[in-house]
Structures are given as C-alpha cells and as structure tokens.
Structure 1
Amino acid sequence: MAGKILIIDDEKNMRHMLMSLLEKEGYTAETAASGSTGVKMADRALKQDAPYDFILLDVKMPGVDGISLLQENRGIFSRSMVIMMSAYGTIDTAVSAMRHGAFDFISKPFKPDEVTLLLERAAEHRALKNENLYLKNQLGQIEERFHFSNMVAKSDAMKEVFILAKKAARYAITVMIFGGSGTGKELIARGIHKESDRADKPLVAVNCGGIPETLMESEFFGHKKGAFTGATYDKKGLFEEAHGGTIFLDEIGELPISMQVKLLRVLQESEVRPVGDVRTRKIDVRVIAATSRNLKEEVDKGAFREDLYFRLNVLTITLPSLSERPEDIPLLCDHFLKKFNRKLGSRVTGVSPSAMKLLLECDWPGNVRELENVIERSVVLSDGDRVEPDSLPPAIAGKTPRKENNEGSFTPEGFSLKVAMRQLEKMMIQRALQETGGNRTHASRILEISHPSLLSKMKMYSIT
C-alpha cells in the first residue's frame, strides 16, 4: 500500500472525489466531515501507534480555521505529512500553513495528477526525514559508546570500563578503581557521581596521600572546639560535607593503618564521630576509592587491612594504561585539541601523520595526563593548523620509532643457528604485534603465517 490518508473537508463531493482517486492509486483513505472529527481520528490513530501517513486538511470549514486547527493540534499531527487545501489560496495563506507545520499547500480546484504528485513528493520527504532521524539515533548511540562523562575512547578495554561505570552509577555501592597515575581514575569517579541519582549533591575528592597523618582524623571526621590545640571552632569533616553525595578517596593505599581502622567503622556503621565529641552522627555517603598500588600485595605485606580491602572491593574497575590502548590516542588528541582551542583561542585542528606516528610510538609512562600536557604544549608552539613533530617535546620528537630501532639491531646470543632463529622469530612477532596495536589477525597477515600458527608461537615464546 502507498500509505494511509485522512481527508478532512466539509464538502461531501470533495471527500468522495479524493477518496476514489486515492484508493485507485493504492492509498488507504478515511474521511472526516469536520475539523473536530478529524482531530479525534488523528489522535486515536496516534495513540494506537498507527498515525496517518498523510492528512489533507481544508483551510475553510464551518466554525473552524484549518490553519488554527493545525497550530492547536501540532502534537497530534506531528507524525503525519499535512497538506492544506483551499479554494481561496494566497501566498500568505500558504506561507502561514507551512510555518505552522504543513508540508505544502494546494489550491482548489486541482487536477488529480497534482494531488498524486504532491503526495509522492511528501512521501519522499517523509522517507528522508525518517532516514535522517535513524542516522542521528545511530550516531547518538556511537557517541554514547565512545563517551563517559568527560572521557572519550574507542578501544574495547575502555568500552568495558565505561559499561561497568554506567552500571555502578545506578546503585549506591562502594566502587574501587585501580589504575596507574594519569589513567583517569578521578574522571571515572566524577562520571559515576554525575550519572547517579546523587548528581545534585556534593562530590568531595580527597587525596589520602596529601593529608598529614596527625590531621587526618580531624579532616575526615571533623572536630569539636577545644578538642586539641588550635581547634578554635567546630569543624565539619569531609564525610559530613559529602552527606547525601559521594566521597572520592584517591590513593587510598596511602592511608596509615590507624586510619584504616576508623574508616572501616565508618563504612560499616554509616556514622562518624568528630574528634573531641562523645556522640556519633549518621551520614549518607557513597564511597568511591582509587589507588595506583596493588592492594592485594599490600594486604599480603600487612600494609593494608584485609577487612577494609574486602569492604571497599565491592565493584572493581581497572583502568588500562595508555600504552595498552594506542587506538585511543588519535581520538584523545582530537578531544584535547578541541579543549585547548577553546581555552587558548587557537585554531590547531589536527595532528600531522608524522607527528601522530611519533605519538603512537611513545610509551606514555604518564598515561592520558601526559598526552594531555603534550597536546597543550603543542597547541601553544604550533605555527600552523596542525601539530607537527617540531612542536612535540624533544623526548618524543627526537625518539626513533620502535620499528626503526629494531632494524639491524638484532645480535644473537652465541653461535647456534637454531637459537638465533628462535630469537629472531620472537622479535619479529613482537614487532608485528606492536605495529598492529595488538591485532593478532592483522599481525599474522603481515608475518605471512596462519592465525593459529601465530597463537601457537605466542604461547611458545610467552608473548602477551
């Protein structure tokens, strides 16, 4: 069928003529003799999720103005292509009709071909509109997959992190974030808070390694006036400041054992007792902790309490280093360029291929934070509209890419050809994996061996 049409016109002959014409063309046509009846029919169809594809609406009807009817019921007509009809058509009337949501205007009397051609045009427009909405929806889903709060990524490792973080945001559970310096632990914590139902409440970020041990209890839980020398007034602790919201305990591995005991009680009882006070105070705080240390090893060494470790470790998010996800580097560069262009008023729009190659070859011990600093520096030093190698730090710009480093540098141990061949084979596999960003299928292709053979050799040489 060509589509479903509603004809709203007070003239019986006009309704009958249009219905006969359109049914011959393959349309399903229904009629309404008044504006109010037409609105009820359109509303009913919309509620049944089967709106009319097209509505032919007369401008002049007894007791109602078709354009006013369209304007007042725009929501009901929103999913239909509305074509206005009138025997008193003027340019002003046509403009007014289209301004209020009509697709087009046709003057009576009209030839049958005029109506069918206009409907065909409306159908094409409708198809393009639906396709555009579909593509925008798909683009929105892609953007959502690549973004979490202020973080961007497209690597599988970071997509998993984003999925976990979004799930964590739905519930007020304790989250433990592991990752090296500069990997974005605080950004993940802020994203979880922002996506949660506590977003309108405080987020208090604390660097556990930056508070002197003697002041730590007072900072965390507050104190009463006169509790110790210098306590000249009552002070709220950080946990009380975060009441109703979230507290982010960064570098929690730096907490001394004495403070770990007190923190455990706060997590178990949801209450704090300020220094010098005899009463406890109930708190409602969601705890997110982070560390760059291996807490399990710290527990084994006795440097971190096992009971606190298990109390914090409800949901774990581990952030990969930047060197483990090089495919994110171009996306991050674009993100930081836009950020610093806004901040600095510059117009550096991209990274040249030669500069990008150097960025991809870097080990990034400082992770994303280091890359961000490099891009900011490059934006300041760039003379053109792209980041070039000469605007990169000397440690990066002067670095010989790994591929060239390995050329001609192979020196086998001893004189055994068998041993030398194994060493060379291992080196070539490692180079291929570095070149392809860890893509084993691609690596096997450039090595000219089968994928199962590559996996077997990786296992034999303990290559991960």
Structure 2
Amino acid sequence: MKNNNTPKRAQPSVLIVDDEENMRHMLASMLKRDGYVVETAENGEAGIEALKIHPYDYVLCDIKMPKMDGMAFLKHAKLLSDTTTIIMMSAYATIDLAVDAMKLGAYDFISKPFKSDEIKLVIEKAAERDRLKRENVMLKEQVRRFEGQYRFGHLLAKSPAMRDVFELAAKVAQYNTTVLIVGESGTGKELVARAIHRAGPRRDKPMVAINCGGIPEALLESEMFGHAKGAFTGADRSKRGLFEEADESTLLLDEIGEMPVPLQVKLLRVLQESEIRAVGQTVSRKVNVRVIAATSRNLPQMVADGEFREDLFYRLNVVTIELPPLRDRVEDIPLLCQHFIEKFNERLGRNVKGIEPDAMSLLLSHRWPGNVRELENAMERAMVLSVGNQLSRDNFSFASSAPDAKPPIEQLFEGYSIKEAQKQMENAMIVKALKATEGNRTHAARLLEISHPSLLSKMKAYNIDL
C-alpha cells in the first residue's frame, strides 16, 4: 500500500483500490486537485487493512484484482464500516455484475474507461446524499429533544406551568401513589392520567377508565365492583367489575366529584384495604390497582358543603396535579395549533402549512372557556373551511363567552380612569405577546403591531422584564 497523504478528517477522504498503478495515480491526482485527502491500495487485502486504520468517506474500488477481488473487498468493507460510501469500477461491467454489487451495498457502479468528470459527478452525488442523511439525523435528533422538552405522553406544552405539571407527573408515575388531577373541562385530565400510566411500571397492561358522572347511580356500584349472578333483577350472570379488570394496572376514576356519597364509603374501603366485594357476594378479594382520580369540581368546597366525604378526599389527595386553563398559558397556543394542523392534515388529507398572523392574534386573545378541547375543535373546523395552505381569521368563529363570565373590561380594570386603563391594557398585552413568543421581542412587536423601539420603551416604562 502506498500512502499519498495522511487523512485529515476536516476534509473528505477517499481510498482508491486498484491493481493498476496508472489508474491509482490518475485518480489520486485528480481528486487531490479537488480538495480530497487520498490514499491508495494495490489490491483488496491492502484496502481492507487501510479501512481498519481510517474510516474513509469514499472508496473507489476495481473489480478485477489479485489476492482479493472487488466483490470480496466490498463484503468485508461493509462489515468494517456502514458509513463509508463505496463506488465500484470495472472494465468488464455487466448489468448482472452491477446489480450484485449494489445488493452488497455499493453506492454506484462505473464502467471503465470513464471520463474524469464522471468520477467527480458520482462522488458529488454521494456527498449530497450523505449531507441529506446527516441533516435528516440532525432533524430527528432535534425532534427527539423537542419532544423530550415539550412532551409528556401525548401532552404538548412549553409554558412554565405545564412544564411543572410534566415534571410532577413524571415523578409520581414511578410510584403506586394515588393521584388527584384537577382542572377545568377540556384541559386534558384524562391525557395526563394516561401519560402517567404509560410512564410507570404498569404500562404493559391497558389503563381502565370510568366516568363516575356518566353512569346511573343504581348501576355504578356494579360497574365498579362487579356483581354475582342473581344479585338484582336482570343479573342473569356474574360480571367482573372495573377494579377487577384493572388488577395490576391503573384505574382512572374520572369526574370523581359526581360519585354518590353512599358509594364513596365503599370506594374508601377499597383504597384502604385493597380489596373489593362484588354486589351480591359475601367474600372479598384482593386487588392491586393504582387509582388516579380526576375532577373539574371544587372538592374542598364539596367537602365543606357535605357533598363529598372528607376522609375520601384526603385519601385521594395524596398528590394533586392541577392543570391550568388554556387562557392562563397562551404561550402554548401556537405549539398546540401546529400539532393540530399536523394531526388534521393526515386525517383530512389536507396540506395546511400554518396560520396567518391576524388569525393567530385572534386565537391568542380568545378566552377559551372549553380549553384545549375547544381549540382542537376550532382548528378542525378551520381546516375544513379553509381553501389555501394558510388558515385565515375568517376560518375561525367563536361562540360568545359563558353567561356568568365577567366582561373582559371588568376583569382587567378597576376604577374609571381611561389613562390608567390604557396603561393596564398595554402592560397586559405586552406581557401576553412576550409569553406567546417566548421573549422574542421582534416577534412580540409584530403581534402587537408596534415598532421594536416602541416596544422596548414601553417595557422600560412598565418595568417588564421577560
């Protein structure tokens, strides 16, 4: 083997494997002029020894050679490195030979004699392919880091409040602790419960869920604990309850605040003793169930009003995860919108790219009484109605606020001073825009429709540091 140069990894490197000295010399001279670091080997065995020392970017290899021919070299080389691009050369080229070489992992096959431009073109194409592969790997890594940073299960958010939720949920997922998830309707309580289940040691078994407010009181006990044959009219066979179905897994008691008080006593016993008794039976059986409860109601107030047992509340309230409403984390809205665009593009066969700025401004200012569920429905409707690849303001329409909600002006301002109200409005809008853009002042100024210097001046006046 003849060393023409010592490879420097800052430059692309090429190994030329050919038993013809003139061919090696010609290719080496040409490639050096183009900025490649080049080494040569006079046969396949020497080429393999060279590959053991340096993982070359590209290999130009002849087919017909003594000691080890090109096809044998190709087999050995692919075992040594799957990142090296190998280009085969031969004066005895046939279609079958080329196909065999490609099956063994060759990038391309060139027939001798060839023009120097042909070699350059093949290597440039290979370099472009490698560049695209590297970019693809980088993008996947960025997506992986993004998902690790902004995702927990199927939940997606980047606001500090939700990041705290993700962190707490990830911690509690590893233990058998009872969890109480509270939040307004549509904030994603069941998604959090499922994410906790999937992140925990019981993930191999499916989570079981029951809506305590969606089943008639007379049937809820049977649904939860099961019943024996003949336990009541219509019980023509025995039935397993959901606690038994969730044995060794997780049971979500959704809308636990709707559970009747008499049944709360029986649920408390199950949580304390880890055993259930089916309706119509006298014998209890042990169950190993991890319980997660969720509610949109104010349980402490229900306890005070006598509508919910205090002892059950404290038994459920070991770890509480409180989900903030969407209106309190508007910085999550652009991220959620992009997620829903990707979701509905696939479901509806659309190719929507994004949302126009004035439409996004509308979404950021909406109160979202239905929270993330309302946003998802609004996005689906907008994508059904849209024509182009950008969602416009006209694609969105919202029902009026709930009747008992205060008018926005009463929520923001006290007193009657117009000057003071203007200051409070500007302060609130600047903070909202900065949160929505993660502190990017240029983008925030664009959302606020003011100049960048004007934004900086107002931030200083209102002592805003975001």
Query: TM-score, length-normalised on structure 1?
Result: 0.72
Aligned partner of 2:139 among 135, 138, 143? 135
- Paired residue type of 2:430: A
Is 1:288 the counterpart of 2:286? The answer is: no
Aligned pair 1:433/2:442, yes or no? Answer: no
Query: Residue 70 of structure 1 aligns with which residue?
Result: 74
Alignment pair present for 1:223 and 2:223: no
The AA in structure 2 aligned to 1:2 is K
- The residue that corresponds to 2:405 in the other structure is none
Does residue 364 of the first structure (1) align with residue 362 of the second (2)?
no
Q: Which residue of 1 aligns with 2:4?
A: none
Deviation of the 1:369 alpha carbon: 1.4
Match of 1:192 in 2: 196
In the TM superposition, what is the alpha-carbon distance from 1:216 to its structure 2 partner?
A: 2.7
**Structure-to-structure mapping, 1:25-174, within 5 angstroms:** 51=55, 53-55=57-59, 57-60=61-64, 66-67=70-71, 70=74, 74=78, 76-86=80-90, 88-89=92-93, 93-94=97-98, 96-98=100-102, 100-105=104-109, 126=130, 129-174=133-178
| Change in CA separation of 1:224 and 1:123 when aligned onto 2, cut-off 3 Å | same
**1:191–1:385 Cα change, 3 Å:** same
The equivalent of 1:461 in structure 2 is none
Cα shift at 1:293:
2.7
> What secondary structure is seen at the aligned counterpart in 2 of 1:84?
strand
1:285 Cα shift?
Answer: 2.6
Distance 1:96 1:103 in 2: 12
Per-residue CA distance 1:421-463 (angstroms, 9 max, x = gap): 555533442343345457787699627255595259x9xxxxx
Q: Which residue of the partner structure matches residue 275 of structure 1?
A: 279
Aligned to 1:210: 214
Distance 2:36 2:140 in 1: 31
Q: Secondary structure at the match of 1:446?
A: helix
Instruction: Quickly say closer, same or farther: Cα 1:412–1:117, change in 2 above 3 A.
Output: closer
Indicate how the Cα distance of structure 1 residues 204 and 75 shifts in structure 2: closer, same or farther if over 3 A, else same. Answer: farther
Q: Counterpart in 2 of 1:446?
A: 455
Kindly provide the amino acid, as one letter, of the partner of residue 321 in structure 1: P
How many residues align structurally?
Answer: 437
Q: Classify 1:41/1:196 alpha carbon distance in 2 versus 1 (closer, same or farther; 3 Å).
A: farther
Asked if 1:178 corresponds to 2:167, the answer is no
- 1:275-322 Cα offsets, whole Å, 9 max, x none, are 222322232333222112343444555544455444434444322211
**SS in structure 2 of the partner of residue 373 of structure 1:** helix
The residue number in structure 2 matching 1:2 is 8
Q: Which runs of 5 or more structure 1 residues have no equivalent in the other structure?
A: 398-404, 414-418, 459-464
> Contact 1:58–1:85 at 8 Å: present in 2 too?
yes
Task: Point out the more displaced range, 77-86 or 443-452.
Answer: 443-452
Tell me what 1:400 maps to.
none
> 1:416 aligns to what?
none
Q: Give the AA of the match of 2:189.
A: K
| Letter of the structure 1 residue corresponding to residue 455 of structure 2 | I
Gaps of 5+ in 2: 1-6, 402-407, 446-452
Label 1:277 to 1:377 Cα distance change in 2 as closer, same or farther (>3 A).
same
1:420–1:120 Cα change, 3 Å = closer
Partner-residue secondary structure (3-state), 1:317:
strand
For 2:214, the aligned partner's letter is G
CA distance in 1, matches of 2:291, 2:419: 54
Higher mean Cα deviation, 434-443 or 203-212?
434-443
- Name the SS of the counterpart of 1:228 in structure 2: coil
Amino acid of the structure 1 residue aligned with 2:256? I
Which letter does structure 1 place at the counterpart of 2:326? Answer: L
Q: Which moved more, 1:362-371 or 1:137-146?
A: 137-146
Distance in 1 between residues matched to 2:344 and 2:133, nearest whole Å: 36
CA distance, structure 2, for counterparts of residue 129 and residue 106 of structure 1:
23
Counterpart of 2:448?
Answer: none
Q: Relative to structure 1, is the Cα distance of residues 58 and 264 closer, same or farther in structure 2, using a 3 angstrom cutoff?
A: farther
Q: How far 1:222 moved relative to its partner? A: 0.8
Give the CA deviation at 1:385. 5.7
| Aligned residue in 1 for 2:326 | 322
Once the two structures are overlaid, the 10-residue window that deviates more, 124-133 or 280-289, is 124-133
Q: Is the 8 A contact 2:62 2:70 kept in 1?
A: yes
359-368 or 436-445, which moves further after superposition? 436-445
CA contact (8 A) 1:208 1:252 kept: yes
Structure 2 partner of 1:462: none
CA distance in 2: counterparts of 1:435 and 1:119, whole angstroms: 49
Distance (whole Å) between structure 2 residues aligned to residue 126 and residue 384 of structure 1: 35
TM-score of the aligned structures, taking structure 2 as reference length: 0.72
Change (3 A) 1:139 1:377: closer
Displacement of 1:207 in angstroms is: 0.9
2:231 partner SS:
coil
Compute the RMSD of aligned alpha carbons: 4.8
Q: SS in structure 1 opposite 2:399?
A: helix
Q: Residues 396 and 245 of structure 1: is their aligned pair in 2 closer, same or farther, counting only changes over 3 Å?
A: same
Change beyond 3 A, Cα 1:345–1:26: closer
Aligned positions of 1:242-391 closer than 5 A: 242-299=246-303, 303-340=307-344, 342-343=346-347, 350-382=354-386, 387-391=391-395
Letter in 1 for 2:428: Q
Contact in 1 for aligned 2:261/2:308 (Cα 8 Å): yes
CA contact (8 A) 2:185 2:296 kept: yes
